[in-house]
């Protein structure tokens, strides 16, 4: 995609270097990072963060997502931005569940070393935006910008309000496979959004899930 955009830009100018797409944005943020950063020595903090970023990135990549950037202790990832993906919403929620499971495993390792446990809040939203090369003459990067990203970040902040690790918007819920277990949360006002935002908490899957419809064998659980 980057090669195509660079080629288009050279032939047609800056206006061809971006396109409108409907993409799923996932925003994740560590809970209690400020307190942890004050307690740990810089070397220990860097090691903990690097382990966190690696595990979260692996979960995202394994579910066909793309890590766009690290924002402090936050992670912004996209599904369906680099190539068409009709199951981008399912993939994003599967990635969030994988991140949740990986975090539990990582906390076991941290506990063995006497380090504090980590918790992560994840917000996911689907919507339109501008995908492509954006930036200044000196520095351009492949990005996705727009209200969709902002709302995913706002939904992530609601994980603390609702005491939920993973929250999705109503727009994303409408596109999800019905095997996902969701719990409706009370509408909340968030900064920059006129109407209260309705979100749904994603619950971990049951131990022995039923067989999926033939629509997509890998959409949620692997078939037995």
Tell whether the model's pLDDT for residue 220 goes beyond 60. no
Domains assigned to the chain: 19-202 (3.30.70.1230)
Q: What is the pTM of this model?
A: 0.82
More confident residue, 35 or 7: 35
pLDDT of 207: 61
Tell whether the model's pLDDT for residue 17 goes beyond 70. no
pLDDT of 82: 84
Residues paired with residue 184 on neighbouring β-strands, in sequence order = 200
pLDDT of 144: 80
Q: Which of 42-46, 54-58, 205-209 has the lowest mean pLDDT?
A: 205-209
Tell whether the model's pLDDT for residue 153 goes beyond 60. yes
More confident residue, 199 or 6: 199
Tell whether the model's pLDDT for residue 224 goes beyond 70. no
Tell whether the model's pLDDT for residue 30 goes beyond 50. yes
Give the whole-angstrom CA distance, residue 85 versus residue 63.
11
- The overall average pLDDT reported for the chain is 84
Q: pLDDT tens-digit profile of 164-204?
A: 999 999 999 999 999 999 999 999 998 888 889 999 999 98
């Amino acid at each position: 995609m980057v090669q195509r955009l660079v080629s288009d830009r050279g032939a047609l100018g800056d206006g061809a270097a971006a396109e409108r797409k409907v993409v799923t944005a996932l925003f994740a943020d560590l809970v209690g990072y400020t307190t942890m950063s004050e307690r740990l020595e810089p070397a220990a903090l860097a090691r903990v963060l690097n382990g966190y970023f690696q595990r979260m990135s692996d979960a995202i990549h394994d579910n066909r997502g793309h890590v766009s950037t690290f924002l402090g202790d936050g992670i912004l990832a996209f599904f369906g931005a680099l190539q068409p993906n009709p199951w981008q919403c399912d993939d994003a929620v599967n990635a969030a569940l994988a991140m949740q499971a990986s975090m539990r495993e990582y906390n076991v390792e941290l506990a063995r070393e006497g380090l504090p446990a980590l918790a992560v809040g994840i917000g996911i939203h689907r919507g339109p935006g501008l995908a492509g090369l954006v930036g200044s003459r000196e520095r351009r990067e492949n990005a996705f910008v727009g209200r969709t990203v902002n709302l995913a970040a706002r939904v992530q902040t609601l994980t603390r309000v609702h005491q939920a690790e993973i929250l999705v918007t109503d727009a994303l819920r409408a596109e999800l496979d019905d095997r996902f277990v969701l719990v409706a949360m009370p509408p909340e006002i968030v900064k920059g959004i006129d109407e209260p935002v309705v979100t749904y908490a994603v619950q971990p899957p049951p131990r022995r899930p039923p067989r999926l419809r033939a629509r997509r064998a890998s959409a949620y659980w692997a078939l037995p």
